Structure 1
């Protein structure tokens, strides 16, 4: 019997071996408790995915700062909840499976109810449609002290997940979060050593990688998620991504995951809301199954580390074409693992040639809520409900998120941290940026 091309193992620079070329991509689960600690729901979810057949599991956003959350029910790694974190790491264990924690800092991309003065490289507001459920405050430009503190938070978080038993760590440097904010000329308008040239704008990322490596040692895998392009006029471009990867070639990095877009330009969900700048796609690019693959190909040509591409893969033929064409080393799969938690195993066994894509029959504005409700079901030990109407899912999701926000804002841990943070903001002069 012929071995499936995507079943081929991959040895990473640190010596760790991925058992195959399929990875469960990071997706925000929203299943932490009101103190931002891991829960039995998360354990059930990852125990299910541990048997999915994917060689690599990436967790959803684990934040390094409790006051910079992507949503109220993120897991936070700040020294609390060590027992809960260890249980989660154990739940994702299975022979032949690597379970990595994705760690992140949202910077300015945090709801204003959670943080009315979020940190960012510069005081540049997020450019999103007002009145569409988004509420973001003007960010506070980071001082030198705050920049180094955030770097330390990433290093501390990486050490925490290593001690908890995770097999590796992935640094979220895409989708408009803090590291991505430093990389983008639109959100980083500083004139000091942290802004201006690509060399300066990439300094924060490089310092984070160096600090994390110092904490976890040479044999612990470190990956990053990076935008192949921001797809914004004046933003971080594919050409800059290629140049940055040349710099990253000299850094101790084990896996480069490529995605694209941000909340301002949500290409990660296949949506363009405004001018995509010089990286606007040709018709031939749009026609391809995985939107980012054409941009990833340019990066793969210069990258010395393995490259993973996430976003839009649905057919075995499309994945194999990209793999055998040398455009990637690992295929990242997200939503299909919610609709069918065992689809990687079934794909590698030759049982299916196409992954599920329920979003094809959903209204664009129902997709996020629909998938989040399916995650709740999986966390409760249930199977996904593929017949769930989109409008019903959205209503349930809104209710859950509203309750989670209220519980977070009322929690003792959050209120104590907020008082401390607000006092520091009131008494600390803003940096020039």
Structure 2
């Protein structure tokens, strides 16, 4: 039966068990309020996914600091003021046996212009020229800033545990703050937080240690890590493998492998080079790196990106290079797909490239976020997604909504 490997449970190092090998990977939802609180829309959306049979569900960006947002509508968990809704969210997602992990994140410099009063990063490195109009040059984080952010990661994780989340995932990929610290391109510091690969890794290891200190050994802590940044002077495969070894030694429970940044969006498939037929048949974008990582560690590995069929997913698991298959965009256009895949059947929907016809927009790969956000918002309202929705129409509506969201966020913050 094609579903046999997908249906196997997975025992994590800390003793917890995922009921099967199929996971929903993080996608940006922007379903929080403009003052960044969780909503009933998240309860509706995650209830739908929770009923689909998934073993693991990872949330979209949960920010640890209301002053540091990635997008309007991000949920922020920095205190217990929203505990009632957080518990409704976790109960809806886990009611049928799925595990729910909160993805904890800080955007660093990767936040659109005007949303935050200022952006922090390891170093004051601007975006490339064609993106500078959309993103401010960040301030270099001080030592006090860094220590505050580390503590905030731990505090947010502890609140998530209290709210009923099954675990947390540290977002150290896709060009956000932790990835920026790991990258020689973004991190040009010459203090204890930079200058060598080991020192650039220190921020991540401190974040993990603080989270573990605040949640204890029995609470799952995973990480999303770039295989590489695919950016000149960025985080390399060799540095990623060294980071995996350090995390394994420290006691991480699950590593999700991804790649790319906003400036080089490999995570969306936009940067993937044409493949040989034998490689394309393997489906997953990062399976080759997973094989290198498997030679480095026996830790559970999750690979997200490119999977299309039950056959391809089972074939990937059969290699032994990964332990969990991550799905994202498919679950935005077919939220019930896991039920079919776990029975060895493919979804009737196919993920397709989203383009607007506007070269500057399409080059950034941003529609691989915005278009899917719109589908998630439909599900959150109890509606069905629109797999055929126009990329251009979605972009125009999203741009208008983002501008309004940025304005409302700044106004609400000013009144606080």
Q: TM-score range by the shorter chain?
A: over 0.9
| 2:147 counterpart SS class | helix
- Look up the SS of the partner of 1:7 in the other structure: coil
Query: RMSD in angstroms over aligned alpha carbons?
Result: 2.1
Match of 2:112 in 1: 111
Q: How does 1:245-284 map to 2 (within 5 A)?
A: 245-272=244-271, 283=276
Report SS of the residue matched to 2:374.
helix
Aligned to 2:151: 152
Q: Quick one: structure 1 residues 183 and 410, their matched pair in 2 at CA, closer, same or farther if it must change by over 3 Å? A: same
The equivalent residue for 2:11 is 11
Does the CA contact (< 8 Å) of 2:356 and 2:395 recur in 1? Answer: no
In structure 2, distance between residues paired with 1:271 and 1:243: 26
Number of residue pairs matched by the alignment: 406
Q: CA deviation at 1:2?
A: 7.7
Match of 2:35 in 1: 35
1:190 aligned partner: 189
**What secondary structure sits across from 2:302 in the alignment?**
strand
CA deviation profile, 1:297-336 (whole Å, cap 9, x unmatched): 1112212320001111112222112111011100100011
In the other structure, the counterpart of 2:349 is 356
Superposition pairs for residues 409-428 of structure 1, below 5 Å? 409-411=410-412, 414-415=413-414
For structure 2, the residue ranges without an aligned partner over 5 or more in a row are none
Q: Which residue of 2 aligns with 1:422?
A: none
TM-score where L is the length of structure 1: 0.89
User: Who is 1:218 aligned against?
Assistant: 217
Preserved contact between residue 67 and residue 117 of structure 2 (Cα < 8 Å): no
Moved over 3 A (4+): 280-288, 360-369
SS at structure 1 position matched to 2:376:
helix
Which secondary structure state, in structure 1, belongs to the residue aligned with residue 131 of structure 2? coil
Structure 1 CA distance for aligned equivalents of residues 104 and 408 of structure 2: 23
Question: For the structure 1 residues 361 and 109, does the alpha-carbon distance in structure 2 shift closer, same or farther, using more than 3 Å as the test?
Answer: closer
Provide the residue aligned with 1:300 in structure 2: 294
CA contact (8 A) 1:89 1:165 kept: yes
Gaps of 5+ in 1: 418-433
The alpha-carbon deviation at position 42 of structure 1 amounts to: 1.1
CA distance in 2, matches of 1:13, 1:230: 28
Q: Deviation of residue 127 (structure 1)?
A: 2.2
2:60 aligns to what? 60
Is the 8 Å Cα contact of residues 259 and 267 (structure 2) preserved in structure 1?
yes
How much has 1:62 moved relative to structure 2? 0.4
Within a 5 Å distance, the mapping from 1:225-240 to structure 2 comes to: 225-240=224-239
User: 1:263: Cα distance to partner?
Assistant: 0.5
Structure-2 change in CA distance of 1:232 and 1:281 (3 Å): farther
Aligned counterparts of 2:145 and 2:372: Cα–Cα separation in 1: 36
1:84 aligns with 2:85: yes
Q: Equivalents in 2 of 1:263, 1:355: separation in Å? A: 30
Distance 2:385 2:250 in 1: 41
Assess if the C-alpha contact under 8 Å between 2:2 and 2:344 holds in 1.
Answer: no
